[in-house]
Structure 1
Amino acid sequence: MDSAALFAPVREPSAEARGQFAHFAVAAPAGQNGLGQLSEPGAWLAACQEVHPPRPITRPRVLIFAGDHGVNAQGVDTRPEDTSRQLAEQITSGQAPLNSLAAGAGAGVRLVDVSLAHEAWGPERVAEGSGRIDIEDGLSREQLEKALEVGSRVADEEVDSGAELLIPGSLGMAAETVAAAVAGALTRTEPVVMVGAGYGISEAMWKQRVGVIRDAMFRVHSDISQPLEVMRKISSPDIVALAAFCAQAAVRRTPVLIDGPVPALAALLADRLAPGARAWFYAAQDSGNPVETVALRDLGLSPLLDLDFDFGPGSAALLALPLLQTAGQLAREAAGTQPEPN
């Protein structure tokens, strides 16, 4: 399977709109510092919208891709799905902290169940039958193709329904263990770096997790130039779907706010699948998780926030969103324009 055949070429955001916003950002009245650190994200938004001043973001969307990976955060096989199910149920019922943050930011929330074995998700159960995937087993070609199709389709559905900015999130048992193996392989980073200091776990668990990640990375050491093969051998349906989602969003010229280790990995994979996709991504924060740090560094993305904030998938991005909105609002006021009525 050729990734070039899966995604159309990615077009660069508007350099002209970026330049116009950058000029506005430094033209502050005497005695003022202008937009400061909001200059770059504001210019990015203008470039993605291909207009200066940027328009208000009236329909941001949070997409939570749920899955279960069969191992816990230490790389130990743990079969219960209850934690993932409970969190998913809270999100779908509107009871999670994420829902309150989204409402405050004016964002809608959608949960996409890619591999949880749960009958309650109805039409959102987009990859029914894919099942739980262990890091040792990888994916079949059919599962890989299905997950890619799911992610691309969800992106198209959201953009076609009017989404103006997308915030991807991940929910699943041990997603970060799988992500650490994939990110380590793609960036040629040592397993001990990808695991990190291992706060809160025993030395034995830390060594076991390093071993799981090391073995997974070894299986794909000759496949680094083939992201689809890496994903097939050591990834999972929800991570593949997230990567395809981010890649297709870039193809559709829709900005994506990245928040969290697994979405950061998905952005890294998306840029491999659809070269140039990184121009459509902005980082909300760097949590310090090695996966997120390594992926953002590889992508050349600087985070907007430094709060170490985590109230669920996409929560830091929802805090960053009003800052983007503020940058655009100030640019519109400076230009003497008002948003068009809905």
Structure 2
Amino acid sequence: MSDWYEQPCKALDDAARQQALARQRQLTKPYGALGRLEVLAVELAAMQGREKPSLERLAISVFAGDHGVVEEGVSAYPQSVTGEMLRNFVRGGAALSVLARHLGAPLEVIDLGTVQSLALEGVRHLNLGAGTANLARTAAMTPAQCEAALAAGRDSVLRGIESGAQLFIGAEMGIGNTTVAAALACALLEASPAELVGPGTGLDDQGVRHKREVIEQALALHAVSEPLDILRRLGGFEVAALCGAYLACAQAGIPALVDGFICTAAALCAVRLNPDCRDWLLFAHRSAEPGHRAVLQALAGEPLLDLGLRLGEGSGAALAVPLLRQACALHGEMATFAEAAVSDRPA
């Protein structure tokens, strides 16, 4: 496989960081009084290489794919929902569609490979396969499929950058993908399914127990330790695309706002493939899915929101964008003590 994902990530701009820190100390408030909003503004300054960062232009991409493991009965919803939701995304009826519209952000919808043969206007169909293979019985992806999915994520980021995006949000759609994310997280963290597996889109206790058993079977079958092997054997098309997108963001120097459990599992895989990728990741929220907390902890990710969300689909990341924009606005538009003729505390 191509090793583009191992190429160096862009370095953060320490000079811009120091300039932003100095500005924070001059604004008409006690230093530190705006808490994490100040930290976020400084982080974004280092990412954008400018004292006053801005997040007016976004790129949001939904990566969709089906999963062979659904035949094991791990989801409360039929697989046909994946394709039906793609139609809902482009028609503007999905939660992320609504949020993107209110954010003034374009929404790109990418079908990497679904069980149903689709030809939807407004959807980029890549046709990597009719979903992945059943990870409980064989490798989910061939090497060629995994490489193509990674590249699809990279290409989406590059399109966003060409359009002037200052922040990338990767979203996902795929019935069964909490099973995939949990399997990936268990393998990457060497954790047991009992620790990380949750109800996903609404399984009852018996369903969760069965889901754990299926993942245990998959982990026993795929006893590998290399991150790329783990991704290929246990991942999904959309998860690999998210992984590729996060790596491309870091290499190109654009911050990525990571959504919930599935996206964070993909981010963990990206960081294992190229550790410097971590510098370019911001974490939107902590979801209600049990495994999300463990993956966030492994990435030292401090989420912006904690609202008990479990929808996925990039919705939590979209909800966090106004907070980032307000951090930038406060940092860039507040007056300094000198500008406002307000006395600062004595040095």
- The TM-score normalised by the length of structure 2 is 0.86
**AA matched with 2:319:** L
Q: Distance in 1 between matches of 2:280 and 2:161?
A: 14
CA spacing shift, 1:109–1:209, aligned 2, 3 Å: same
Q: After superposition, what is the alpha-carbon deviation per residue over 1:93-120, rounded to whole angstroms, capped at 9, x for unaligned?
A: 1122322211222222111111123322
Alignment correspondent of 1:46: 45
CA spacing shift, 1:286–1:161, aligned 2, 3 Å: same
Q: Give secondary structure in 1 for the equivalent of 2:135.
A: coil
Alignment correspondent of 1:95: 93
Alignment correspondent of 1:142: 144
Tell me if structure 1 keeps the 8 A contact 2:240–2:266: yes
CA spacing shift, 1:251–1:302, aligned 2, 3 Å: same
Deviates more, 1:135-144 or 1:18-27: 18-27
Tell me if structure 2 keeps the 8 A contact 1:70–1:77: no
Alignment correspondent of 2:173: 171
**AA matched with 2:94:** A
Deviates more, 1:81-90 or 1:20-29: 20-29
Q: Distance in 1 between matches of 2:44 and 2:125?
A: 30
Alignment correspondent of 1:249: 249
Q: Give secondary structure in 2 for the equivalent of 1:120.
A: coil
**Is 2:36 aligned against 1:34?**
no
Tell me if structure 1 keeps the 8 A contact 2:285–2:306: yes
Q: Give secondary structure in 1 for the equivalent of 2:126.
A: coil
Alignment correspondent of 2:84: 86
**AA matched with 1:195:** V
Tell me if structure 2 keeps the 8 A contact 1:48–1:253: yes
Report the alpha carbon displacement of residue 125 of structure 1 after superposing the two structures with TM.
3.7
CA spacing shift, 1:324–1:2, aligned 2, 3 Å: same
Alignment of 1:257-336 (within 5 A): 257-309=257-309, 313-334=313-334
Q: Give secondary structure in 1 for the equivalent of 2:110.
A: strand
Alignment correspondent of 1:219: 221
Alignment correspondent of 1:339: none
Alignment correspondent of 1:155: 157
Q: Distance in 2 between matches of 1:230 and 1:46?
A: 34
Alignment correspondent of 1:60: 58
Alignment of 1:109-148 (within 5 A): 109-116=107-114, 117-121=116-120, 124-133=123-132, 134-136=134-136, 137=138, 138-148=140-150
Report the alpha carbon displacement of residue 124 of structure 1 after superposing the two structures with TM.
4.0
Q: After superposition, what is the alpha-carbon deviation per residue over 1:132-174, rounded to whole angstroms, capped at 9, x for unaligned?
A: 1122332111211221221222222221222210111110111
Report the alpha carbon displacement of residue 228 of structure 1 after superposing the two structures with TM.
1.2
Alignment correspondent of 2:345: none
Q: Give secondary structure in 2 for the equivalent of 1:276.
A: helix
- What RMSD, in angstroms, separates the aligned Cα atoms of the two structures? 2.6
CA spacing shift, 1:296–1:78, aligned 2, 3 Å: closer
Tell me if structure 1 keeps the 8 A contact 2:83–2:118: no
Q: Distance in 1 between matches of 2:32 and 2:279?
A: 27
Report the alpha carbon displacement of residue 127 of structure 1 after superposing the two structures with TM.
2.5
Alignment correspondent of 1:340: none
Tell me if structure 1 keeps the 8 A contact 2:183–2:218: yes
Q: Name stretches of at least 5 consecutive residues in structure 1 with no aligned partner.
A: 337-342
Report the alpha carbon displacement of residue 329 of structure 1 after superposing the two structures with TM.
1.4
Alignment correspondent of 1:69: 67
Report the alpha carbon displacement of residue 249 of structure 1 after superposing the two structures with TM.
1.2
Alignment of 1:187-206 (within 5 A): 187-196=189-198, 201-206=203-208
CA spacing shift, 1:306–1:83, aligned 2, 3 Å: same
Q: Give secondary structure in 1 for the equivalent of 2:61.
A: strand
Q: Give secondary structure in 1 for the equivalent of 2:68.
A: coil
Q: Distance in 2 between matches of 1:101 and 1:60?
A: 12
**Is 2:108 aligned against 1:106?**
no
**Count of residue pairs brought into register by the alignment:** 332
Q: Give secondary structure in 1 for the equivalent of 2:113.
A: coil
